[in-house]
Amino acid sequence: MKNILVLCTGNSCRSQMAHGYLEHFAKSRANIYSAGIETHGLNKKAVAIMKLDGMDISGHTSNHIDEYKTIDFDFIISVCDHANEHCPFIPSKNAVRLHHNFADPSKVEASEKAIQEAFKTTRNEIKAWCEKFVKDNL
């Protein structure tokens, strides 16, 4: 069983979406964790946009990277540049570190419709990336 960590700045939006899709696509082949270098709480718009795709992440929590110090990860995936650049050392023996910067829809300042479209675009990009990751690595 592989251990996979998804890392973002606040573990509220992009990492939560990736966590949900990785669990969905990996099924029982991996333990999925998500964390932030800070914790910002679960983003309600991320929960809502995932629900529109049949994914329920409402039970997720916003976790700090320090909570997972004792887990030996096989993959550490950063989903934003800030987390990638400011990530503390994570002591995993042979972890493969991957990075993909997804746009942060929570930073969009526009109409409600434009914000929802930004969340949908990021969600769809994360979904495609996660599906390919699972296919290629698990």
Report residue 121 as tokens: 């675009």
Q: Is 3 helix (H, G, I), strand (E, B) or coil?
A: strand
Q: What is the Cα–Cα distance from 23 to 15, expressed in whole angstroms?
A: 12
Q: Is 31 helix (H, G, I), strand (E, B) or coil?
A: strand
Would residue 130 show up in a list of annotated catalytic residues for this protein?
no
Query: Which residue of the set 87, 118, 126, 134 is catalytic?
Result: 87
Would residue 13 show up in a list of annotated catalytic residues for this protein?
no
Query: Which residue of the set 17, 80, 83, 90 is catalytic?
Result: 80
Q: What is the Cα–Cα distance from 59 to 70, expressed in whole angstroms?
A: 23
Query: Which residue of the set 5, 6, 7, 8 is catalytic?
Result: 8
> Active-site residue numbers?
8, 80, 87
